[in-house]
Chain A
Amino acid sequence: MGFLAPWFIGAGVLAAGLPIWLHLLRKYRTTPLPFSSLMFFDKRPQSSVKHRRLRYLLLMSLRIALLLLLAFAFARPFLSRASGTFGGRRLLVIAVDRSFSMRTRDRLARAKEQAIGALSRLGAGERGEVLALDSQVEVLAQPTDDASQLRAAIQSIAPTDRRSSYAELARNLRAIAEATRMPLEVHFATDAQKTSMPPAFGDLQLGPATELVIDSVASGTEPNWGVESVSAPAHIYDPKRSRVQATIAGYGTNAAHRTVSLVVDGRVVGTRDVDVPVNGRAAVEFPSLESPYGFHRGEVRIDSADHLKQDDSFPFSIERTDPRRVLFLYPSGSTRAPFYYRTALESAENAGFALDVVPAEDASGAVLSKFAFVVIADARPLNADLEQRLRAWVNAGGAVLVTLGPESAALAHVPVSGEPVQGTRYSPPEGERFRTVDDADQQHPALKDTNRFAGVEFYQSVRIDATGDHVLARLSDGSPLIAEKQMGAGRVIVFTSGLDNVANDLPLHASFVPFVVETARYLAGDQQRVTNVAVGAALDLHRGAHGGAADVIDVTGHHLLTLAEATTARVYTIPAEGFYEIHDAAGKVWLVAAHADRAESDLTPASPDTLALWRETGRAPVSAGPGAQSVESSGKLEFWRWLLLLAVIALLAESLVASRYLATEKELQHEPDRAAQFISAGR
């Protein structure tokens, strides 16, 4: 028997003391009463008092019983369906860690051996279940009493490149216990990595009748070197200015000299020697990345000589391409805006944009499909045909940045996006002098690193009605400064001030370059196509407005999507480390490199105390006897309702006994011509 809320027991014991105090200590502490003479009293009444106490003991017992029954009921006692009590029913759960770290030596093989050995715990009439754990839990064998089926499921387990999550295992075990309402005996074969533990220990909480046996296959701390991270540009526009940086980490290692190689398409293009400190990290940089045009499979390798080879290389994807062209339309005669914008764009490393600066009046014949996006600076009324083509191009997936200068006040609406223009707002020197940015959405990719435009003074802006737009930033007077409008598959960003260092001093501030570069990358769609991800990441196939088929092809040329998935799947989850060629629904193609989570490279085992604490979370709070803690039931039989029924009966009995006593008191107190109490006689 156990209790789900055992603290009520303590409260009940304390409460039971109350009637004892009332009856034995308080009730019989007689108050001295002066009386004229005791010549008509004698010692004989003592027996009468004792008799009365005996009668009160019955009342007191009933009251104590009532309180204890209530306390026990609130403590929610249950009878566990333990093996000895409920016919030996339990569920044997065998879980095997198949995470990336299990590739070390023969850890997975030994884990499977131990798991198969645990099958001997399967008794007659009992069922077993096989789980495989990495970042998720996969049920390889549903509950069955067929040992051979369980054994086959264990033998089929293969290592993955995912990280193991003990919290995920605990969550699944709780779900199994709740669903089956049976006690669980869990045998978990794992290398017990410290990095597999969740940040919050509470996430490891097991069900109330879960016995966890951890079969560790780790043999102390295993030294391991690995490539922890690689920083490489996704697009190479100028090979001489493209750098690859890598971090080499050692876990439980001594100081060592390592050779690091940069491999592109299987060919070593660079080698560096590095000294990795004791249990530390070292950085390596390859200053140039020569490669022909197109997608390439890059890799950073080390000669580690350890027992986990898979983390000795780190894949990454690169694309050699020409800079993307940007059409910059400006009012003829005003060259300040293109000057500042070009300077900012070219100052960014590997930005990959080439600016075509054209007076707005001369752009009527521009071929928009050549450009990544269009900038309309200090917007004035555009040629109707050009504006029409721009709208159509944006709806098809293009992007436009519109800036509004003093000349824009005459517009009825913002070009392309169409927001109504409400007028121009100047901040005169004799008045408020300037406005600042009051609110900015720092989470938006276009405003990354802009630091809320700190210190920027705005002297002139155009007020627009941004209803329906996503306002990314507002000025201190509440008017929109940056608004984004989604139009079909494309988007337009409206900047309600200028880029010419006249309407504001933004070009003179550090936030100008990030603003120009990040809006350019955002409008060019850089954030939409991720090229380097961890295993398990979900890739967007851009199913939104496009009806085309998507496809995912691995390095061996296998198509990883079925025909149905190719036409319906919105995302694709990367299953293993390697390279994937993605064909999204919009017809774009790019190469993705997936790497294993390098937290798995740290093979340091969790402390035995932590694992012991984890095991303890599966034991019931109160157990009935020795040995019961390991097999207590989650299919518990609660009987608090019966205790409440008994409490009601005790209450009725108490009322009857008490009413008899009270009736006697009432009779005494209502003598026909007497007050009941003595009054002090000390007059």
Chain B
Amino acid sequence: MSAAMDPVWTALALSLKVAGWATAITLVLGTAVGYMLARWRFPLRDLLDSLLTLPIVLPPTVLGYYLLVMLGRRGWLGAWLHDNLGINLIFTWQGAVIAASVVAFPLVFKPARAAFEAVDGQLEQAAQVLGLSGAKIFFRVTLPLAWRGILAGMLLAFARALGEFGATLMIAGSIPGHTQTLSIAVYEAVQAGQDDVANRLVLITSVVCVTVLLAAGRLMPGQVANRRDGDRG
């Protein structure tokens, strides 16, 4: 659309915007859910964990279809949003953010849960006896000891969101400059026989993803160890 700007950079900028928002959303929700699953005991906990893990296993197109059914004009949530708030998510970049968030969510909450479970509960009890309230204990003890695992998951989620294709296409379509992200632009370029565009898009995507993985790899080893000294003398 905006012919003034190179479509490749437009697609990259859109991809980064969508992936950035999706990462922020999954980071907050994934950390909260990971903590909940690690620390609270409630019925159907395992079922909830499995359901939330589903996006890793399900084909993105199936997820996209579920989202479409739910968020579309005639979907129960979509209709409500449209009638009450005048919000339409289909064929918008915000819709792409939702698709990317759902797909990337397990990559954050799973490592977050593991990281929280690795934090010694006795440290939280010690903080309690030292007079700190629950929320402050979370921010001063639990989170600092778990953040490495959460951050590693966050970077993976960013990479996954950046590469999202199937669900995004179902929800947001492929409108250049609006919802056409990098990975979708690659598909469109190949379809249209624009090999030079496709090559550049592929190169850029690869560089960004490798960078993110390198960063995640540097954080990964400390994920479970959480610097707690485990020696017995």
Chain B binds chain A: no
Residues of A whose CB lies within 8 Å of any CB of B are none
